[in-house]
Amino acid sequence: MILGMKSFVFALFVACFLSLPALAAHVGDADRGKTIFRKCASCHAVGEGARNKVGPHLNGLFGRRAGSVEGARYSADMQRMGNDGLVWTSETLETYLENPRALVSKTRMSFRGLKDHADREDVLAYLRQFSDNPRDIPEAEPTATREVDLAPEILALEGDPAFGEYLAGECVTCHQAAGGDDGIPSITGWPVEDFVVALHAYRQKLRPHPVMQMVTSRLSDEEIAALASYFNGLN
């Protein structure tokens, strides 16, 4: 009986070991990604001799600090996020490609995002070829992927603006309720979904700001929805 169990465990180990190359290969289709990248090519260049266009060139993208390409035009929000420590990894790029405003609320990039996970994975596989030291295993940068993980019922929560006003006392110690932007971005009048996605991105530590990560870690889904409803209603 013991011998039979050992044989079973050994066979299971061999099966798992033999499956590793297949797992390692699942890092996106670069050729397909090149085709999808045509949607981006009017604003971004990549490859030999690439220069800034409307947006920065994408050579050396993985591991690069956001808003750091010399000569590129960035929004104030993108520069802030870079100064806060946002670095382009597979994790942050996955989120940005799905919904740019999930990471950078007032990005200059008007692109609405790639909603299909396979499309994002393939584009990243294509761009990875033009970054330093690409790796070939899914678990390691720059091939690990993650997106803002929000269930539909979270996005569907109806926030109570009165409750949001009660909760907003901590927010308005930094963000001006009147909508001013003196070094700290305004959150007045934000679309509700953008607000919710942004705060959850901080809570999941995709957005890199230690104070915001701490604040959002204490908020429930319902409290985030209430804050979103309150600030959306401010003029």
Residues of the chain with CATH 1.10.760.10: 30-128, 152-232
Tell me which fold the domain 30-128 belongs to: Cytochrome Bc1 Complex; Chain D, domain 2 (1.10.760)
Whole-model pTM over 0.85: no
- State how far the Cα of 103 lies from the Cα of 207, in Å rounded to an integer: 6
pLDDT recorded at residue 163? 96
The CB-side HSE value for 102 (13 A sphere, CA atoms) comes to 27
Q: Which residues of 84-93 are buried (b: 16+ CB within 10 A; e: fewer)?
A: eebbbbbbbb
Tens digit of each residue's pLDDT (9 = 90 or more) over 103-126: 888 889 888 889 999 999 999 989
- What is d(CA 228, CA 159) in angstroms, rounded to the nearest whole number? 7
Amino acid at 4: G
Q: Which residues contact 202 (CB under 8 A, 6 or more apart)?
A: 209, 212, 213, 215, 216
Tell me, which fold does domain 152-232 have in CATH?
Cytochrome Bc1 Complex; Chain D, domain 2 (1.10.760)
Chain segment 25-58, per-residue pLDDT in tens: 345 788 999 999 999 999 999 999 999 999 999 9
Q: How confident is the model at residue 9 (pLDDT cuts 50, 70, 90)?
A: very low
What percent of the chain is modeled with pLDDT above 70?
Answer: 80
Angle made by CA atoms 163, 168, 173, in degrees to the nearest 5: 165
Question: What is the predicted pLDDT for the residue at 167?
Answer: 93
Residue 198, pLDDT > 70, answer yes
pLDDT for residue 23: 32
pLDDT-derived band at 22 (thresholds 50, 70, 90) equals very low
Q: In this predicted structure, what is the pLDDT of residue 5?
A: 45
Q: What angle do CA 42, 53, 92 make, to 5 degrees?
A: 80
Mean model confidence pLDDT for the chain:
80
